[in-house]
Amino acid sequence: MTAAGKKYHMEIRVSRRKLMEGLAAAGAAFPLEAAALVPAAGAPAAPPPAPGILPLTSTSDVWLPPRGRALLKFSYGFPEPSVEFGGLLFSFRIYTFENTYGLHAGRIRLRRSPNALELDCSRLIWAGGQQSAAGRLRARFRRLQDGVEWSAEAEMDRPVKSIAAILRRVPRGRISVNGDACFDPRDNELLFKYPPPGITTPAVVIETAEKRYFSLSCRNSDVRPSRFYFQPGPEMYRAELVYEAAGWQKSTRLATPSWRAAWTGSLPQAYAPHMAHVERAFSLARWEARRDVPDWAREIQLALALHGMHWSGYIFNDFAKMRRILEWTAARIPGRRVMVFLPAWDGRYYWNYPLYRPDPRLGGAAGLRRLIRRGHQLGFHFVLMFGANGANDKLPVFSRLAAGAGRRLDGNPYFIDWVDWDNDRQSEGWMPYMNLGEPEWRNWLAGRIHAALKESGADGYFLDIAGFWINNLSADNFLGNRQLTLELRHRLPQTLACGEMHYDALLNFLPIFQVFSGRRYPTFSRYARAFEHLSTPAPGRGSTGCHEFGFGHFNPKTLNLNRFQIPTITVVDDTFALHRATMEKIIAIAKARPAGGAA
């Protein structure tokens, strides 16, 4: 056995002794046994591992049964023959669309040099090692000044869906994602997925008790799924780092980008190398140098979200009432300092997606033009809301757009079906998730945005659910989103593009968002700005307006916590009638802050 192997097995014995002592103290009835591969009756014995390979399984050195919140996993020990490099232990899994495969311990060959390692496995196992299959995995490792970098490539006789690197000796501690503050995960198993719905950039940082920082990151140069799973043991994590192929590029070969594991002395140092890569890979411009921010948008001190119509048809504010609100507001803050955001200007919220025409009950096209014309006289600028990734399949127009409906990697249709719109205590599923990578949908949406802005005179558009990405079977939603935005910028050069939610690559072409992240390290604020979400509770009862959330707790203190987030007033049915004093206080906060969320 190698020196590294002896050291590791000593660590295992110490950890197991401590665990058994703890179980005994707690009155446990059974001793903890070493995880071992148990072959089926009549199955051939597992081959001996190659020199330098540790014969571990998925149940080695983790809490079983779990001590905190647990995620799905195999109910037996799947072999994970592991190799040591740079202080970590590595193994790999390959996933196809029909099964899971691991490394054949007897067919692994290693080639080492002082600062590098090449692993070549010429056969795979499945069924927990009871069966083997043709296939190959190669991995290359190199030592960095502060850690390790590696990549892997797998080949099989069937399409490869994803590859997981399995790491051990990952320290336990407090966790940071999205550049936010560290939190204590306790004994819970953790799963972070990129891109959203999940984390906004593929990096996770662990703060140890000694205040050292261990980071794991994926060096994507395209938007592709990356997942981070952490399974706690007595002292360390067993981690799975999964890279998934593009759904529209099925192949029998898959190569991962580089992954990195590194030690640093602070949270900013842990994020900095990853964000430097992101900035290069996606050509991100710093906020001060962005060329897609109109001059007027840099003067914004306040966002005013004037809610139109609820899904059910209930009207919060029609266009005539909105005009009166703006005339009152202009007497308290210069209109040029205010961005007026109009959710549900097109009638029934979400139900009318993707028609995008001013609703007659709100005042129709003429009423919207009068509102914006009067607002422009007072200096205001207007942003209309559009759904980037949703369309009502019950509307007659949907038959022309059906090719744009998204499908998951496994072929299943994907619906925006997590909302109980009618309050019957059951979510509705009439809205497919639409893929902007599909030209039918992208061209329709671009045409409706262009027509609505030209007809109304509005100054910008907001893409609802822009930061939501699924691994579609047919096309890349990110590239479609970028193409849509660049096309509209060419046709309407001084128009502001905004988005709901974000992930790192979207910062290339969307400069303003709802939902802020990265409060401890500038994964976001270095490149973009944000205003409060349209569902921010309004003064008074905390109505979230047309949004499906209902009521929340209005807290004026949250308006001034982040200098990069633009204060926002949510205006619903009773806000202007009953809560003008609170509106004035928020306006005073906004006037005291730098324009454009400046530092």
Owning domain of residue 218: 48-281
Per the document, the length of the chain is: 599
Residues 92 and 161 in one domain: yes
Residue 38 has pLDDT above 60, yes or no: no
Q: Please report, for the chain, how many H helices and E strands are present, in that order.
A: 8, 26
pLDDT tens per residue across span 82-125: 999 999 999 999 999 999 999 999 999 999 999 999 999 999 99
Q: Which pLDDT belongs to residue 27?
A: 34
Helix (H) or strand (E) holding 6: helix 3-25
pLDDT tens per residue across span 422-470: 999 999 999 999 999 999 999 999 999 999 999 999 999 999 999 999 9
Q: Which pLDDT belongs to residue 49?
A: 72
Residue 557 lies in a domain: yes
Residues 84 and 148 in one domain: yes
Considering 251, 281, 311, which residue would you say is the last residue of a domain? 281
Q: Which pLDDT belongs to residue 296?
A: 96
314 SS3 class: coil
Q: Which pLDDT belongs to residue 556?
A: 79
pLDDT tens per residue across span 193-208: 999 999 999 999 999 9
Residues 481 and 349 in one domain: yes
Dist. CA 18–CA 35, nearest whole Å: 16
CATH number of domain containing 232: 2.70.98
Q: What is the mean pLDDT of residues 411-417?
A: 92
Dist. CA 257–CA 240, nearest whole Å: 15
Residues 347 and 217 in one domain: no
pLDDT tens per residue across span 55-74: 999 999 999 999 999 999 99
Residues 307 and 239 in one domain: no
Tell me the two tokens of residue 547: 């949004």
Dist. CA 357–CA 348, nearest whole Å: 11
Q: Is 592 exposed, middle or buried (0-12, 13-18, 19+ CB in 10 A)?
A: exposed
% of the chain residues with pLDDT over 70: 91
Nearest CA-CA partner of 64 in 37, 39, 33, 41: 33
Q: Cα-flanking dihedrals φ and ψ of residue 129, to 5°?
A: 95, -5
DSSP category for residue 234: S
Q: What is the mean pLDDT of residues 574-599?
A: 88
Nearest CA-CA partner of 414 in 474, 485, 354: 474
Residue 5 has pLDDT above 80, yes or no: no
Dist. CA 364–CA 41, nearest whole Å: 75
Burial 537-569 (b: 16+ CB within 10 A, else e): bbbbebbbbbbbeeebebeeeebeeeebbbbbb
Residues 368 and 259 in one domain: no
Dist. CA 29–CA 32, nearest whole Å: 10
Residue 43 lies in a domain: no
Q: With bands split at pLDDT 50, 70 and 90, how would you rate the model's confidence at 2?
A: very low
Residue 308 lies in a domain: yes
Considering 247, 281, 315, which residue would you say is the last residue of a domain? 281
C-beta separation of 508 from 222 below 8 A = no
Q: What is the mean pLDDT of residues 469-483?
A: 95
Q: With bands split at pLDDT 50, 70 and 90, how would you rate the model's confidence at 369?
A: very high
Tell me the two tokens of residue 481: 């989103």
Q: Cα-flanking dihedrals φ and ψ of residue 385, to 5°?
A: -95, 135
Residue 13 has pLDDT above 60, yes or no: no
pTM value? 0.89
CATH number of domain containing 478: 3.20.20.70
Crossing angle of the two packed helices 439-456 and 364-377, in degrees rounded to 10: 60
Residue of higher predicted confidence among 572 and 17: 572
Residue 364 has pLDDT above 60, yes or no: yes
Lowest mean pLDDT among 36-40, 68-72, 169-173, 471-475: 36-40
Residue 10 lies in a domain: no
% of the chain residues with pLDDT over 90: 86
Residues 536 and 574 in one domain: yes
Other residues' Cβ atoms within 10 Å of the Cβ of residue 516? 23
Tell me the two tokens of residue 223: 């938007």
Order of strands, sheet of 496-500, starting from the edge strand that comes earlier in the sequence: 565-566, 529-531, 512-514, 496-500, 460-464, 381-387, 338-342, 302-306, 568-571
Q: Could you tell me if residue 298 is left (phi over 0), alpha (psi between -120 and 50 degrees) or otherwise beta?
A: alpha
Residue 25 lies in a domain: no
Q: Which pLDDT belongs to residue 598?
A: 59
Q: With bands split at pLDDT 50, 70 and 90, how would you rate the model's confidence at 594?
A: confident
Dist. CA 32–CA 115, nearest whole Å: 37
Dist. CA 17–CA 91, nearest whole Å: 25
DSSP category for residue 469: -
Letter for the amino acid at 233?
A: G
Residues 447 and 485 in one domain: yes
Total domains in the chain come to 2
Beta bridge partners, 45, equal none
Residues 189 and 314 in one domain: no
Other residues' Cβ atoms within 10 Å of the Cβ of residue 124? 23
Q: With bands split at pLDDT 50, 70 and 90, how would you rate the model's confidence at 36?
A: very low
Contacts of 145 (CB under 8 A, 6+ apart): none
Q: Could you tell me if residue 283 is left (phi over 0), alpha (psi between -120 and 50 degrees) or otherwise beta?
A: left
Residues 453 and 330 in one domain: yes
Residue 33 has pLDDT above 60, yes or no: no
Other residues' Cβ atoms within 10 Å of the Cβ of residue 64? 16
Other residues' Cβ atoms within 10 Å of the Cβ of residue 186? 9
Residues 315 and 460 in one domain: yes
Nearest CA-CA partner of 160 in 191, 143, 136, 178: 136
Residues 165 and 55 in one domain: yes
